Structure 1
Amino acid sequence: MVEKASNTKWFGMAVQALIVLANYEGLCPSGKLAEKLESKSVFLRKILTHLVKAGIIQAKEGRDGGYSLVKEPSELYLSEVYEAMRAETLPKDFLDVEQKGCFLPNTREALCELREEMENWILAGLKEKTLADLLRD
């Protein structure tokens, strides 16, 4: 059973950050990235930390530091980004049936299986798309 799912808000922001990095010349400071995405720096840095841990981007600390892509956009599959954002436990509103006493155990199990299938469908679709597919001239 899937214990963790990608937080869709985090995934969306991660993809947007990667698009900015793909179009940015050199290292992009987190403040500049947050400004471009109209996001709070603290929130964005949490997302960037997961992308660094997953080896999707690299970070250079210090005054002249910033972030950059590790791979070419055509080699970076969106499924990798989705997987990197699996740091969150399943959101409460994502078929949360674990504590629902109104469901019989078999029904609860079937709903959990559906949740896992949904995650697999999403991942299968994202394995077909790269970051380059989202970049338009």
Structure 2
Amino acid sequence: MVEKVSNTSWYGLALQALIILATHEGICPSSVMAKKLGFQSTFLRKVLTHLVKADIIQAKEGRDGGYSLNKSPEEITLAGVYHALTAELFPKGFLNVQSKECFAPPTQDALCDLRDEMEGWIIEGLEKKTLADLLNKRLS
């Protein structure tokens, strides 16, 4: 089983890899994507594994292997990519309310609710955007 990540930089890398796949004809090797993105292909493949498991992209193994989109750019929501990674939206420690010395339980609950509500707002916005939207902005 692939563990979910908690590094928000993986989300940005995943989106950039999807843009490359959307503009690349045929299967794109991870080495090609890694070179364009300035990352090692082994690290990039860790990120791409999450997108394969979510059925957003497909992987072909072997000498002529690589990756391709499994859906059209219009069908890939940015929220879908977020959920594939299940990255923590906020940096580690953001609204950390574990300290019982500083906050009473009702305050801790209120801050946790606020953090969850903020994440909901962002996910709601990501649901409205697709990979096609990013491609259209890139080309305009």
Instruction: Give the TM-score of the pair, scaled to structure 1.
Output: 0.88
* Cα distance between partner residues in 1 of 2:79 and 2:61: 27
Unaligned runs of 5+ in 1: none
Residue identity in the other structure for 1:51 = L
* Cα distance between partner residues in 2 of 1:39 and 1:94: 27
Distance 1:130 1:116, change over 3 A: same
Answering whether residue 80 of structure 2 is matched by residue 80 of structure 1, we say: yes
* Cα distance between partner residues in 2 of 1:112 and 1:88: 14
- Report how far residue 7 of structure 1 moved: 3.6
**Higher relative contact order, structure no. (Cα contacts within 8 Å, ≥ 6 residues apart):** 1
* Cα distance between partner residues in 1 of 2:5 and 2:116: 9
Residue identity in the other structure for 1:66 = G
Q: What secondary structure does 1:96 align onto?
A: coil
Distance 1:11 1:125, change over 3 A: same
- Report how far residue 129 of structure 1 moved: 0.6
How many residues are aligned here? Answer: 134
* Cα distance between partner residues in 1 of 2:76 and 2:110: 34
RMSD over aligned CA atoms reads: 2.1
* Cα distance between partner residues in 1 of 2:72 and 2:39: 25
Conserved 8 A contact 1:6-1:83? no
* Equivalent residue number for residue 92 of structure 1: 92
Unaligned runs of 5+ in 2: none
Instruction: Give the TM-score of the pair, scaled to structure 2.
Output: 0.86
* Cα distance between partner residues in 2 of 1:60 and 1:86: 24
1:1-137 → structure 2 map (5 Å cutoff): 7-86=7-86, 91-135=91-135, 136-137=138-139
- Report how far residue 93 of structure 1 moved: 2.5
- Report how far residue 45 of structure 1 moved: 1.2
Q: What secondary structure does 1:71 align onto?
A: coil
Conserved 8 A contact 2:8-2:90? no
